[in-house]
Amino acid sequence: MSYTPQEPFAAVDLGSNSFHMIVANYGDGRLQVIDRMKEMVRLASGLDGKRNLSHESMDAAVQSLERFGQRIHDLPHANVRAVGTNTLRQARNGKAFLTRARQALGHPIEVIAGREEARLIFLGVVHSVYNESDRRLVVDIGGGSTEVIIGRGFDATHMESLYMGCVGTSERFFANGEISAKRMRRAMLFAHQELESIRATYRKVGWDSALGASGTILAIEEAMRHKGWSDAGITAEALARLRDHLIEASNVHDLQLEGISDQRKPVFAGGVAILSAVFEALSINRMTVADGALREGLLHDLIGRVHDQDVRDKTVMDLAQRYGADPEQAKRVSATADNLFAQVRPAWSLDRRPDQKLLDWAAQVHEIGLSIAHAQYHHHGAYVLANSDMPGFSREEQLNLAMLVRLHRRKFATDELLQVAEDSRARVARLCILLRLAVLLNRSRSTSGLPEIHARAGDSELDLQFPEGWIGDHPLTQTDLDAERELLDAAGINLKYT
């Protein structure tokens, strides 16, 4: 009987209310959780009226991440993934915070889009209570957003991230902890307005069972259970009794609810209002509470990436097919780019796995803009990539992929690269150069293939060596290389070829 050594993995969720980390060992197809950490940072409360994070909130978050970082210091970097959610999607000074946060954690931190957050939540929930046949409705109330998902098995079919969370709703409608029937009605009406965009569609699709995730819903169920209002899960009747109990207390500080921590109390009423509106809008009578959430989904998704089951590969393939990209040309460009990448990788300090993947994805979709118009098709393709829902991709990954497609032809506009995170800029620029050359060398779309090409790289130079006489026999390629040399020279890159 063979035995696969266990690998350590970690997932970090920088939520709007709490930061979570889960550490697990994976081997023989089984995941064993060995550690969990949670800190109530309440990052969303640190956003001011101009959507800037306060220095105090950033300091508290960084201190939390330093503690997380100490725990995962010795884990392989490829086996750790950290993501930020709604508050970091909103924060105007998010880049400044992320620079500090990455240093504190010791690992990159990605900001994911709302629908990607929803997909990962669904993945985490269904792994904890898997059922292949039933269609599930999953609801997760976070600090800054609420995710509502329908899916079957491990596949989410309908995903939405709504702009309402327990922190923002509590601060807006239950200021100073005050609760009244009028405040509760107003908070629920606000939540109903957010749910209005999905109500008809979700009710038409339907589901066999409803599942709730996250600390807010877990706390609501815990409060009901201690009060004896519900034996298991959350019912509409018990939820109504909980609302009445909150109104009678009149202030969150006077709540007498077992299982609700003092840290949870300030945002509890907002969570109850949101869940009440979800129950009403979607006509839910009973909801089961699941253990899995975003961090568990993140962990399973990460393990899939490491073990070559990367959802991003399927996302790119689907995009290429949807926009009619030529698969044979994509293969040719990818093969040439991979060849150049392997030769210059050490000199250019490129990472074999993530950087080569990004280059391969760009090769697959670099022509998708042709489905819109030939003129400026690299602009069209970049726009599609930057603005599509792309399962598995963080915002930064999506931007980097769009940048490779945007700069794969014509002027090498280095000013465009200022959109890329500073610590990724040089790497993305070098990948752009490799893609440009791969596209150029396959311009004829010939099925006969290219000769063996040797490449050497320096900090700001690239030297290509072709077989003797080959360049002279291919004057069009020589002309293209001459033009490319001028374009790269304007960007401070010295291209040589013989």
Which residues face 109 on adjacent strands? 82
Long-range contacts of 175-183 (CB under 8 A, 24+ apart): 177/251, 177/252, 177/253, 177/265, 177/266, 177/269, 178/250, 178/251, 179/246, 179/247, 179/249, 179/250, 179/251, 179/252, 179/269, 180/247, 180/250, 181/247, 183/269
User: Mean pLDDT over residues 252-265, rounded?
Assistant: 88
4: confidence class by pLDDT, cuts 50, 70, 90: low
Residue 456, SS3 per DSSP: strand
User: Mean pLDDT over residues 201-226, rounded?
Assistant: 96
Mean predicted lDDT score pLDDT of the chain: 95
Find tokens 């990605």 and name the residue: 110
pLDDT at residue 338 greater than cutoff 80: yes
Q: What interhelical angle do 354-365 and 311-322 show, nearest 10?
A: 20
User: Mean pLDDT over residues 428-438, rounded?
Assistant: 98
Closest by CA to 333, choosing from 353, 368, 370, 361, is 361
Per DSSP bridges, beta strands 135-141 and 109-111 are: unpaired
Residue ranges of the chain assigned to CATH 3.30.420.40: 7-112
Q: Which CATH fold would you assign to the domain 115-293?
A: Nucleotidyltransferase; domain 5 (3.30.420)
Question: What DSSP element (H or E) covers 287?
Answer: strand 286-289
Determine the pLDDT at residue 461.
96
Closest by CA to 390, choosing from 108, 147, 89, 115, is 115
Residue ranges of the chain assigned to CATH 1.10.3210.10: 310-497
Exposed / middle / buried, residue 232 (Cβ in 10 Å: 0-12, 13-18, 19+) = exposed
Residue ranges of the chain assigned to CATH 3.30.420.150: 115-293
Rounded (5°) CA angle 28-30-33: 135
DSSP 191-236: HHHHHHHHHHHHHHH--SEEEEEHHHHHHHHHHHHHHTS-SSSEEH
Q: What is the CA radius of gyration of the chain?
A: 26
Spatial CB neighbours of 100, under 8 Å, sequence gap ≥ 6: 58, 62
Say if residues 17 and 170 touch (Cβ distance below 8 Å).
Answer: no
pLDDT at residue 442 greater than cutoff 80: yes
Tally Cβ neighbours within 10 Å of residue 379: 15
CA pair distance 26, 156, nearest whole angstrom: 24
CATH number of 310-497: 1.10.3210.10
Q: What interhelical angle do 55-71 and 94-105 show, nearest 10?
A: 30
Residue 110, SS3 per DSSP: strand
Closest by CA to 45, choosing from 165, 225, 219, 159, is 165
Q: Which CATH fold would you assign to the domain 7-112?
A: Nucleotidyltransferase; domain 5 (3.30.420)
Q: In the chain, what is the straight-line distance between the N-terminal and C-terminal CA atoms, in Å?
A: 55
pLDDT at residue 413 greater than cutoff 60: yes
Determine the pLDDT at residue 2.
47
Determine the pLDDT at residue 108.
93
476: confidence class by pLDDT, cuts 50, 70, 90: very high
Which residues face 41 on adjacent strands? none
Spatial CB neighbours of 214, under 8 Å, sequence gap ≥ 6: 140, 141, 142, 293, 294
User: Mean pLDDT over residues 273-281, rounded?
Assistant: 98
Amino acid code (one letter) for 275: L
pLDDT at residue 129 greater than cutoff 90: no
Determine the pLDDT at residue 1.
41
pLDDT in tens, 70-97: 999 999 999 999 999 999 999 999 999 9
pLDDT at residue 380 greater than cutoff 80: yes
Q: Is the torsion defined by CA of 77, 81, 82, 83 positive or negative?
A: positive
pLDDT in tens, 145-175: 999 999 999 999 999 999 999 999 999 999 9
Q: Tell me, what DSSP letter sits at residue 13? A: E
Which residues face 34 on adjacent strands? none
User: Mean pLDDT over residues 178-194, rounded?
Assistant: 98
pLDDT at residue 11 greater than cutoff 90: yes
DSSP 409-424: SSS--GGGGGGS-GGG
